[in-house]
Structure 1
Amino acid sequence: MSHGKLREEKNCLNCGHTVEERFCTHCGQENTQTRQPFYYLFTHFVEDFTHYDGQFWGTIKNLLFRPGKLTNTYLEGKRQKFVPPVKLYIFVSFITFFMFALFPPFNIDFKDKEETMISKEKSLLDKVKSVDTQKIIDSIKTQKNLSEEDSLTIKKLNAFVPDSTEMNDFKTTFEMNRKIDGTTRYGGYKNKKSYDSAAAKNPSIFDFIKKPMAHKFFELKEKGVTKGEILKNLTETSFHNLPKALFIYLPLFAFFLWIFHHKKKWWYFDHGIFTLHYFSFLLLTILFTSLLINLTNLSDLGIINTFLYLIITALVLYSIVYFFIAHHRVYHAHGAVSFLIGFVLFSINFFAFTFLVVGLALVSFLMIH
């Protein structure tokens, strides 16, 4: 219920009918003051969505922990108990990508990373100076009986020797910060002219994809961009296009459901409701997973990170199992039949969405400036 101040007048500003209490019995509009403080915009949005009567939180609880419950309830005609599917999907989608903007699930700024690594390397060099740390460690280890003091010395010196993981991280970072130079080729060709000449001699049915990709590569090569910049721009552009891809895939997901179920018993509308609920669940799962990934980046404790990775793995597995449970509960098929249809649908959608993601990556690459 809204907490806006009621008007003294009893006429409805929307339809003109008399309002006996708070809401107009003719059109349902609330008879509150029209002028409100600025913060009312936010509080009204939250209040309108959550209703403070448990509708929102009840919806989220059932969405996460009771697969198929929201879809069954909605298709039974009980549509006031929970948040409507379209409204739920739009809200969850907004929250998910808003949180992604605040807490990106990945950090691929190789320039900043390189500066950090160089600073770290200089710090180590200042400490070690000209002493060959590894040789000292090896010479101590050659002794037959290591004293407690020797073991302590090795432990301290090991702090100055980067491990293989750290060295590989160094190499990857420096490699990604290298510009695409003249020796870099695309399909064996150094420049656009040689590629176009070869493509003209040996045309292919995939030239409509390969040619724009090659031209974009040579364009970026001429600009002198680094591999890290390409990866960063590609990831950011793909990320910004992801909501569009998910929105485009919604009707396709429902279409696959429609193909594999009885047409008279289940309308395309019914499959659309199932799809909206399942995609809302997936978005929330993606959000929780990304937040956990951010926590692993902040924590240096192996035990905590192991625990977080176990939770992430459990979330991924649950998102897969969730589909089969929801499908069985909504479509009421026999267990074996439901599992078989669910497996086929899951496989088709996996490959179809992978194809869409690859297409999205290609488009994102072509959009890099």
Structure 2
Amino acid sequence: MSKNTLREDKTCLNCNYVVEKKFCPNCGQENIDTRKTFYQLFVHFFEDLTHYENSFWKTIRNLLLKPASLTKEYLSGKRMSYLAPIRLYIFISFATFFLLSVIPDNEDTPDVKVNSKKALVATKKKEKDTIFKEQEKIIKLEQLGLLTKTESDSLQKLFIQTKLKQIKDKKNNFTLLGSSYNSVEELDSLQKHGKPSEKLGAFEYWITRKMQLVNDKYDSDELKEKFAESFIHNLPKSLFIYMPLFALVLWLFQNKKKWYYFDHGIFTLHYFSFLLLAILILRIINYLFEFINDYTFFNILEYIFATVAILYMFYYFFPAHHRFYGESRVVSACKGIAMFIINIIFIVIILSVMAIYTFINIH
């Protein structure tokens, strides 16, 4: 822990009050030298972020092993012994999504990416070579007098159209929201010259065109990969947006006179902090097991650990809800199941909407 040098001047820099000891009795500011080395600045930042004096690890231990204990302690007034809920969530959220972004997946190694790119290039080259060879055959038949110029041109055009349609059908076996259009040009043409029954409303046309641009730009595999990337990228924002809704669902199921929305908000911050931390721990353990996955024993151990961790993540909400709200186990379990189903539906909708919003803004 860093050592802070006390100022010789006993006048508080913040409120000009006389400071007899380390902290100002008027505003609480520490009367220390404000000029620091880079090391001191870094350590001070970390200590301030985590409130490291025993409270950080105590908070993490209780968060993982004692469901709802942090929430009950905080609302009872014991707030200096643990990290504040907002600070805890921000710290864990930052750590989780930062580390998840830098921990590599086995499938995303450079060699795999290079090989996939080479395979894609080879496939496209093969398709082009097939078209050129068929064209050469048709031209030879024309040169031998077996086909007229008109017949040769017609056959070449027909073959190219057929081949391109096959490639397009293969490319678009997966489309964003199951698009029924072959291209954005077809959509624009129908919107401009089609029958009234074929035309879309202004908003429907705008969003459909945005999605069709994405379908035209990416093939099936690229589209699935981009969708997954967008889903993960939007997860932190989606969770942050969803937390007030999660607290609202809790509020709807509880006694309005006994519990304030603020109480549900604190419970929500701690619960979401637990989920993020559990996901991070699970990913780190999984990554470490990847180095020894050649041994059957460790594969079984990894499977057991992952199964137990996932089950515990689902189970955690129920004892936390029961202990915090003080209801019977049966009532708490019934409410928990109902809220669980509602929240799963809401979070899937929010994540999907945000993922689609990201897609339609890709250029």
Determine if contact 2:5/2:33 at 8 Å carries over to the other structure: yes
Counterparts in 2 of 1:2 and 1:218: CA distance versus 1, 3 Å = closer
The whole-number CA distance in structure 2 between the counterparts of 1:13 and 1:33 is: 10
Deviations 1:138-172 (A, max 9, x none): xxxxxxxxxxxxxxxxxxxxxxxxxxxxxxxxxxx
Shift of 1:238: 2.9
Aligned to 1:182: 168
Corresponding residue for residue 170 of structure 1: none
Q: Does 1:287 align with 2:280?
A: yes
- Indicate the residue corresponding to 1:216 in structure 2: 211
Give, in angstroms, the shift of residue 82 of structure 1. Answer: 1.1
8 Å Cα contact 2:248-2:261 kept in structure 1: yes
Residue 234 (structure 1) shift: 3.1
The equivalent of 2:128 in structure 1 is none
Mark the structure with the bigger radius of gyration: 2
Give SS of 2:99's match.
helix
Asked whether the 8 Å contact 1:238–1:364 carries over to 2, the reply is no
Distance 1:252 1:51, change over 3 A: closer
Partner of 1:354: 348
Residues in 1 aligned to 2:292 and 2:205: alpha-carbon distance in whole angstroms? 43
Equivalent residue, structure 2, for 1:24:
24
Matched, 1:340 2:334: yes
Kindly state the Cα deviation for residue 281 of structure 1 after the two structures are TM-superposed.
0.3
CA change 1:300–1:81 in 2 (3 A) is closer
Q: Partners in 2 of 1:48 and 1:243 — Cα distance?
A: 23
Q: 2:89 maps to which residue?
A: 89
Q: Distance in 1 between matches of 2:277 and 2:358?
A: 24
| Cα offset, 1:312, TM superposition | 1.4
Whether the 8 Å contact between 1:256 and 1:345 is mirrored in structure 2 is yes
Residues 101-126 of structure 1: CA distance to partner in whole angstroms, max 9, x if unpaired? 2214574579844628989xxxxxxx
CA deviations over 1:162-195 (Å, ceiling 9, x no partner): xxxxxxxxxxxxxxxxxx9433445443222334
RMSD after superposition: 2.9
Structure 1 residues 315-342: Cα deviation after superposition (integer angstroms, max 9, x where no partner): 1110111100000000000111111111
In structure 1, the partner of 2:183 is 191
**Alignment correspondent of 2:102:** 102
Deviation at 1:210, TM superposition (A): 8.0
Partner of 1:274: 267
Distance 1:103 1:24, change over 3 A: same
Contact 2:234 2:355 in 1 (8 A): no
Say whether 1:364 aligns with 2:358: yes
How far did residue 35 of structure 1 move? 0.9
Cα distance change on mapping 1:44 and 1:265 into 2, 3 Å: same
C-alpha separation in 1, matches of 2:8 and 2:195: 78
Checking the alignment, whether the CA contact within 8 Å between 2:59 and 2:70 is kept in structure 1 is: yes
Identity %: 42
- Paired residues of 2:181 and 2:212 also in contact (CA < 8 A): no
Give the equivalent residue in structure 2 for 1:324: 318
Contact 1:109 1:228 in 2 (8 A): no
CA positional deviation for 1:33: 1.0
Equivalent position of 1:256 in the other structure: 249
| Structure-2 separation of matches of 1:334 and 1:282 | 24
CA contact (8 A) 2:183 2:212 kept: no
| Residue in 1 that maps onto 2:47 | 47
Offset from partner CA, 1:302-322 (integer Å, 9 cap, x none): 321221122111111101111
User: Unaligned regions of 5+ residues in structure 1, if any?
Assistant: 120-179
The size of the alignment, in residue pairs, is: 306
Give the TM-score taking structure 2 as reference length: 0.75
